[in-house]
Amino acid sequence: MIDTDELDRIYPPPYDDPHQRRLTSKNLAVLWSNLRAAGAPRLILTMVALHPEDELPSIRDAVPEAEITVVRLLASEDVLLERIGRREVGLGLGDQGRRSLEALRFMESGPAGEWLAVETTGRSVAEVAGELLRRAGWPG
């Protein structure tokens, strides 16, 4: 599992790649090559993708043989804020909460995409993962 936020953690961002898409794609390609060589059967990326259709081309470039399944994990605003409160500390909490609620509302207002949507409220990580494996048709 790779969190794409960790693939482009640089400040300041490159002047010619302000959203770090190229940097993310290059780092993902190297990591996937190494993971694949070590026998990894699949890659799970975590990311906030407000516009998955904009993100997928660079992922396909980095992992050309990939069969991509986009998954949206669902939770209410209250649950989302509670989870953020457990994870964030200090001054980042307010900012992260505000940005996360804006992203949630944006995604909820958009058209349904071609992705699996899984409710996570009141469920363990193992329960959510098990449902995803079954629905995506992946072996356990």
21-75 per-position pLDDT tens digit? 899 999 999 999 999 999 998 888 888 887 788 888 989 999 988 888 888 888 8
Q: Over the chain, what is the mean pLDDT?
A: 85
| Rounded Cα–Cα distance for residues 93 and 91 (Å) | 6
